Amino acid sequence: MRGPHNIWRLIRTGATLERTGAMGFVLDAFEAPPALRVLARSVAWPFRWLGYRGDPAMPPATRALTALGPAYIKFGQVLSTRPDVVGEDMARQLRVLQDDLPPFDTATAKKSVLHELGRDPDVIFSAFSGPVAAASLAQVHKARIAETGEEVAVKVLRPGIERAFRKDIDAFYFAADVIEFLLPFSRRLRPRDVIRHFDGVVSGELDLRLESASASEFADNTEGDAGFQVPRVKWEYSGRRVMTLGWAEGAPLGDNAALDAAGHDRHALGNRVLSLFLNHALRDGYFHADMHQGNLKVAANGDIIAYDFGIMGHIDEYTRRVYAEILYGFIQRDYKRVAEVHFEAGYVPPDRDVDEFARALRAVGEPIFGMDATRISMGRLLSYLFEVTERFGMETRTELILLQRTMVVVEGVARSLDPAVNIWDVAKPVVSDYIRQSIGPRALARDLALTAKVMARFGPRLPGLMEDLLIRQARAEPAPRPARWPWVLTGGLGGLAIGAAAAFGAAVWLL
């Protein structure tokens, strides 16, 4: 219940922010005015002794959220995907939050398996290890299926985590309402929308059936990708609070020493991480949105293995085409085309000058292309691009925020493997191939063929629709008129049918 009883939770939160030194950092990130800074520090300082101390070795924001517990850790992880709200500096600091929390005991995990699957875990599994990883929502155990001998990873939600998150989310909603009411200027940051986004993300992650579905879809999409593996879901051993996947054995992608000892080519791995992400985002429109080193391994044969599918990104076909054209325009240094794409997509108001916008984009792109490979940053390009579009009245495109954030993370992963990875050299063939496949005569033929299929589904209803149209027309006109409608309608439908047939034939011929 989002009532005043949440005030105590907020006091404890403010006290922890003050005690850990995160308060000033948060106020800076939100560009709070001086009056608000004075007020916040004055209110929080007397209660700082109530705050948690946290780990002094961590950065302030990370230290505070880690001390406050799993809900706050997860909130920080989600906020790290919204640099448009919290700023780049805070988003970067929040990305280092580690899923390294105290585990719960194995006996409790087995009870959850028994309750969820209705079968004794000691019968299902011939081996069931202690926790091998403990995150904010769940922990993972290594097990062996008794029937087949296959090794699997069993993910189990923390006991009572749903209720604990519900309480904290209610407090977050209450805080957002208070902030919007007392500080009208904060509404442009949409605090309540941010909490609603967080609520939706967490609600999805608290039902492991949804994560299982995400993992299954991602595995199907990427089955043919060379050098990439996604563990398969074991549906018969999965449920709302338990998820079982094939075990992924490999070296952590973030351990360069282990990769070198295993003889892996880190430069090739860096290139592959980038190209895989771009392919998933552009080709499939469905991508792993949490591709940091902790969720990636390298198998003995050099394949990259992805796991933890709690946060996935989706972009529709139209947005993919727009995004690809923007990237391709920058790669080709065709700033006029990049500007035109923004206007065509409605990203920039039509009353702005397209040539002026193109010049602003040139000022963004040219300095970056003058850098050597170790300094080229696609993430920096997107950041600069959003700054320019903001100046030209472009509203925040929420569907691109997660994509931008993931690209920045993936770029960081690639650079951690080899600083000499050239982002543009990797992106150019992927984006060019997508442009050829999705924009041009073949793509047009496919679009027309899909349109024809949709129209064909309405075929049985056309006589009724025509009769209904004629009746409506007769009722609307008191005096009878020459029978134009049947001819016009029939001719129009005939033209559509002919056009659909031609489109379908062209699609078959081209494809």
Q: What is the pLDDT of residue 497?
A: 38
For the chain, the structural domain boundaries read 4-98, 249-438, 441-510
Question: For residue 233, which phi and psi values (nearest 5 degrees)?
Answer: -75, 135
| pLDDT over 90, % of the chain | 26
Q: What is the pLDDT of residue 501?
A: 37
* Distance separating alpha carbons of residues 474 and 478, to the nearest angstrom: 7
* Distance separating alpha carbons of residues 129 and 143, to the nearest angstrom: 6
If pLDDT is split at 50, 70 and 90, which confidence band does 125 have?
very high
Q: Quick one: average pLDDT of 438-455?
A: 69
Q: What is the pLDDT of residue 478?
A: 57
Q: What is the pLDDT of residue 431?
A: 83
pLDDT score of 127 more than 90: yes
If pLDDT is split at 50, 70 and 90, which confidence band does 260 have?
very high
If pLDDT is split at 50, 70 and 90, which confidence band does 181 have?
confident
pLDDT in tens, 277-330: 999 998 999 999 888 887 899 999 999 999 889 888 888 888 888 888 888 888
Query: Looking at the annotation, which residues are catalytic?
Result: 290
Q: Quick one: average pLDDT of 215-244?
A: 95
41: Cα within 13 Å, side-chain hemisphere: 16
pLDDT score of 434 more than 80: yes
Q: What is the pLDDT of residue 464?
A: 77
pLDDT score of 151 more than 90: yes
Q: What is the pLDDT of residue 338?
A: 87
Taking each helix axis as running N to C, give the angle between helix 378-391 and helix 354-369, from 0 to 180 degrees, rounded to the nearest 10.
160
Return the minimum-mean-pLDDT range out of 200-214, 346-360, 467-481.
467-481
Q: What is the pLDDT of residue 62?
A: 82
Q: What is the pLDDT of residue 495?
A: 40
> Which is more confidently placed, 105 or 510?
105
- Residue by residue, what is the 3-state secondary structure of 359-389? HHHHHHHHHHHCCCCCCCCHHHHHHHHHHHH
Max Cα separation, the chain?
Answer: 90
Q: Quick one: average pLDDT of 362-380?
A: 67
To 10 degrees, the CA torsion angle through 417, 419, 420, 421?
Answer: 50
Q: Which of 159-173, 249-263, 362-376 has the highest mean predicted lDDT (pLDDT)?
A: 249-263
Q: What is the pLDDT of residue 415?
A: 82
Q: What is the pLDDT of residue 386?
A: 64
> Which is more confidently placed, 122 or 344?
122
Q: Specify whether the CB–CB gap between 168 and 174 falls below 8 A.
A: no
> Which is more confidently placed, 274 or 41?
274
Q: What is the pLDDT of residue 441?
A: 67
Q: What is the pLDDT of residue 95?
A: 66
> Which is more confidently placed, 70 or 497?
70
If pLDDT is split at 50, 70 and 90, which confidence band does 504 have?
very low
Q: What is the pLDDT of residue 209?
A: 94
Q: Quick one: average pLDDT of 333-352?
A: 86
pLDDT score of 486 more than 70: no
User: Please, what is the average pLDDT of the chain?
Assistant: 78
> 487: which residues sit within 8 A by CB, 6+ positions away?
none
